[in-house]
Amino acid sequence: MIKTDILIIGAGPTGLFTVFEAGLLKLKCHLIDALPIAGGQCSEIYPKKPIYDIPGFPEVLAGDLVRNLMEQIKPFSPGFTLGERAETLEKLEDGNFLVTTSKGTQHQAPVVVIAGGLGSFEPRKPPIANIDKYEDKGVAYIIKEPEIYRNKRIVISGGGDSALDWAIYLAEIAKEVSLVHRRNDFRGALDSVEKIEELSKSGKINLITRAEVVDLKGENELEAVVIRHNGDDSVDGIKPTDFFIPLFGLSPKLGPIGDWGLEIEKNAIKVNNAYDYQTNIPGIYAIGDVNTYPGKLKLILCGFHEAAIMCQSAYQRIFPEKKYVMKYTTVSGISGFDGTRKEARKEIIKSIN
Amino acid sequence: MLDIKITIIDREGEAHLVDAPTDMNMNLMEVCKMHELPVQGTCGGMAMCASCHFYSLSHTDHFPEKSYDEEDMLDQAFFVQENSRLGCQIPITKELNGLEIKLAPESM
């Protein structure tokens, strides 16, 4: 059981900065994120894209912003549960919340902050009518243990980097690898595309371009895929296979948070913006892109602001008897939980004789 | 007169004739959202989610060339056809007056 003061769901820029604001109030934080790395969209979707509207940064790459935030919050020693999705939330008798992840990790805190952005990133499923029926029965959207594909027949579809990389990897261990792609050209890294071409020429990868997997066959488990060439359904081919792995990137879904009894409007969580960004459940806040209120702007800088306000409210909630007076970091410096201390350099008064 | 007229056919087949300003640095995805048509625009216009995927029924010659990012995203999107584009990559210009588009099906 992980116990903390503020449990943050989502380790994007807003979630990360919350650790800093909470740290100034001597509150400890723990973050949960479905992605295996911190940074949310900034790390997963556009690490190399420049951002121009972070105050004080005329231009900063999204990946660098995340690195800076991680550096900034380091003194406050945040805990991380990464690669696990927050699944269930339960209110305990003592007023604490219990949040359990997809892997069963339990977290307990008096305050929960949802900084979930667009939601958790999940693989895009191709629109094949019966695909759900074969999930875990031959259809996989993520490759977790490559070894299960040893000496098997595999059909991969997609034309991006992950489709190419896995086709190359599996060509070595599988009995047969087919790569189905809608177009003739591949948009992955040049090295990968060249390698695929080479493997295709030497017969190690069966390259099927200008084609799509349109149907799946099999009694209880997947036995074959139906491949349609160039949108022409008169020449559909049936390809026997053990596995079908569609790799079409990730897309964000609000996911299980949507079932926690929070008031939702257009895929976002409604909060009280007149005060502290609290949701309809006292003790649960929502900040950053995941929340909505009149005049909401989905900007990183707005998420930072919401984090600062929200932490003040959380402090009052955790210590109702205490009165906190806000201090400026320029005046008080930063005392980390790791024993580090940062403060303005003292001027030295020395008379010259 | 800075507005142009665009016809947007939604996923139920209903046509909406809407005004689109040419002087506000807007794109087709934003025009759809402005008129509360069912376009999510999840990624905010970075050609990274395909939630603004549409089929162009006219004016294709007046569209800008597809960027690498748009090609890449359309590669991973579903229900893609020859006339598929991403709304967020089409700036509103006066040449597009009378444009007709159809929203592509939403993917899961």
CATH number of the domain enclosing B77 = 3.10.20.30
Given an 8 Å threshold on Cβ–Cβ distance, is B43 in contact with A248?
no
DSSP H helices, B1-108, are 28-34, 68-76
- Which helix (H) or strand (E) covers residue A163, if one does? helix A161-173
β-bridge partners, A176: A153
Question: What are the extents of the domains in chain A?
Answer: 2-121+251-342, 131-248
CA distance A77 to chain B (A): 31
Q: Which of chain A's residues have a Cβ under 8 Å away from the Cβ of B105?
A: 127
Q: Structural domain tally of chain B?
A: 1
Nearest CB to B108 within list A118, A127, A158: A127
Q: Which of chain A's residues have a Cβ under 8 Å away from the Cβ of B108?
A: 124-125, 127
pLDDT tens column, A27-67: 999 999 999 999 998 998 889 999 999 999 999 999 999 99
Architecture of the A2-121+251-342 domain: 3-Layer(bba) Sandwich (3.50)
CA distance B81 to chain A (A): 10
In a domain, B108, yes or no: no
In a domain, B9, yes or no: yes
Given an 8 Å threshold on Cβ–Cβ distance, is B49 in contact with A251?
yes
What would the two tokens of residue A51 be?
A: 């951002």
In a domain, B57, yes or no: yes
Nearest CB to B42 within list A126, A158, A252: A252
Given an 8 Å threshold on Cβ–Cβ distance, is A183 in contact with B75?
yes
The CATH class, in words, for A131-248 is: alpha beta
Q: Which of chain B's residues have a Cβ under 8 Å away from the Cβ of A298?
A: 44
Range of the domain at B64: 3-103
- Which helix (H) or strand (E) covers residue A284, if one does? strand A284-286
| Residue B72 touches partner A, C-beta closer than 8 Å | yes
Predicted pLDDT of residue B43: 81
* Interface list for chain A against chain B, based on CB atoms closer than 8 Å: 45-46, 49, 118, 124-127, 158-160, 182-183, 187, 248-249, 251-252, 267, 298
Predicted pLDDT of residue B1: 55
Q: Matching CATH topology for A2-121+251-342 and A131-248? A: yes
Residues 18-47 of B with CB under 8 A from A: 40, 42-44, 46
Number of CB pairs, chain A paired with chain B, less than 8 A apart: 43
What would the two tokens of residue A261 be?
A: 């009894």
Candidates A184, A187, A289: best to mutate against B (most CBs of B within 10 A) is: A187
| Residue B67 touches partner A, C-beta closer than 8 Å | no
Give CB contacts under 8 A, 24+ apart, made by A102-109: A102/A34, A105/A2, A105/A81, A106/A1, A106/A2, A107/A1, A107/A2, A107/A3, A107/A4, A107/A7, A107/A30, A107/A32, A107/A81, A108/A1, A108/A2, A108/A3, A108/A4, A108/A7, A109/A3, A109/A4, A109/A5, A109/A6, A109/A7, A109/A30
Nearest CB to A126 within list B68, B75, B78: B78
List the single residue in A with minimal CA-CA distance to B43: A118
| Euclidean distance between the first and the last CA atom of chain B, given in angstroms as a whole number | 40
Q: Which of chain B's residues have a Cβ under 8 Å away from the Cβ of A228?
A: none
| Residue B105 touches partner A, C-beta closer than 8 Å | yes
Taking the C-alpha atoms of residue A69 and residue A112, their distance in angstroms, rounded to an integer, is 20
List the single residue in B with minimal CA-CA distance to A131: B108
Q: Do residues B54 and B10 touch, judged by C-beta distance below 8 A?
A: no
pLDDT in tens, chain A (353 residues): 999 999 999 999 999 999 999 999 999 999 999 999 999 989 988 899 999 999 999 999 999 999 999 999 999 999 999 999 999 999 999 999 999 999 999 999 999 999 999 888 888 899 999 999 999 999 999 888 899 999 999 999 998 888 999 999 999 999 999 999 988 888 778 899 999 999 999 999 999 999 999 999 999 999 999 999 987 888 889 999 999 999 998 888 888 999 999 999 878 999 998 899 999 999 999 999 999 999 999 999 999 999 999 999 999 999 999 988 788 999 889 999 999 999 988 777 778 87
